Amino acid sequence: METTKSKKKIDSDIRRHIDDLLYIEKCVSDRIHAEIGEFLMGRGQTAEELGDRLKYVIEERIDCMKADEKRVQKGEKGDIKFSGATLLSKEDYVKYEKRIPILCDTWWLKTPCEFIKERVMIVRDAHIWEDGYFVLNTNAGVRPALVISQMGCYKVGDTVSFGGISFTIISSKYALCDQVIGYGAFRKVKNADNVSDYNASDIKKYVDLWFANAQKALLAK
């Protein structure tokens, strides 16, 4: 009969195996933790045997996630479809704020500041800064929102993978990235009448190119 000390040793080894596996497979969803928890209840196997079972389950889930992502982008019946990507506006952020996952970072909105044409609003540590940053500032991140053309079987609050990145569906219109995909200036030059206009910005070109490349890569799998 196992002693309490030996059980703790097994649990410690198991958790070390789990940490190693999750470190290797960075794209693993948090939902896998629930499945991992079930294995932690076992006592009739060694940590190595348990680690092998966990590796199998994790790899299987990753394959399923990749298949789902590819299937989504091919637009099969019942799946979500995206028509493009954009940045949120101030109005979008205020409207969906309670559904937006908190990100301890600074990222661009696409709304110009009201009184200074060379500045654009930002979100910093989950709060809107209406004074924003100058368009040349490269310290703000790009947090794209996928534009939803069909919700399919998904609902608000669900997460979906696109380009190997997790997005949270915050409305029937948008799925917001759970991270920033890069940092850069809103506009590379400021001597233009429409310097803070998103549609004429360099950051829009960046977002459009990222979406096109991500979708192309997915469809090519």
Asked if residue 8 has pLDDT above 60, the reply is no
pTM of the predicted model, to two decimals? 0.66
Token duo for residue 98: 């309670």
What is the spatial distance between Cα 99 and Cα 44, in angstroms, rounded to a whole number?
43
Q: pLDDT confidence of 24, banded at 50, 70, 90?
A: very low
What is the spatial distance between Cα 47 and Cα 39, in angstroms, rounded to a whole number?
10
Please count the structural domains in the chain: 2
The domain of 11 spans: 4-66
Coil, strand or helix at 177:
strand
What's the pLDDT score for residue 162? 92
Has residue 102 been placed in a domain? Answer: yes
Domain boundary among the residues 20, 37, 66 is at: 66
* CB contact burial 30-41 (16+ within 10 A = b; e otherwise): eebeeebeebee
What's the pLDDT score for residue 74? 47
In this structure, are 207 and 106 located in the same domain?
yes
What is the spatial distance between Cα 80 and Cα 214, in angstroms, rounded to a whole number?
16
The CA distances from residue 45 to 14, 21, 38, 109, 125, in Å, are 10, 18, 13, 52, 45
In this structure, are 186 and 108 located in the same domain?
yes
Domain boundary among the residues 34, 66, 98 is at: 66
The CA distances from residue 6 to 11, 15, 45, 47, 189, in Å, are 9, 14, 12, 11, 65
Asked if residue 112 has pLDDT above 50, the reply is yes
What one-character-per-residue DSSP string does 109-161 give? Answer: EEEEPSS-TTEEEEEETTEEEEEEEETT---SB---EEEEEE-TT--TT-EEE
Output the average pLDDT for the chain: 80
Q: Are strands 106-112 and 119-124 parallel, antiparallel or unpaired?
A: antiparallel
Coil, strand or helix at 217:
helix
Q: What would the mean pLDDT of 160-182 be, rounded to a whole number?
A: 95
What's the pLDDT score for residue 194? 86
In this structure, are 91 and 157 located in the same domain?
yes
User: Which range among 2-11, 22-31, 67-76 shows the weakest confidence by mean pLDDT?
Assistant: 22-31
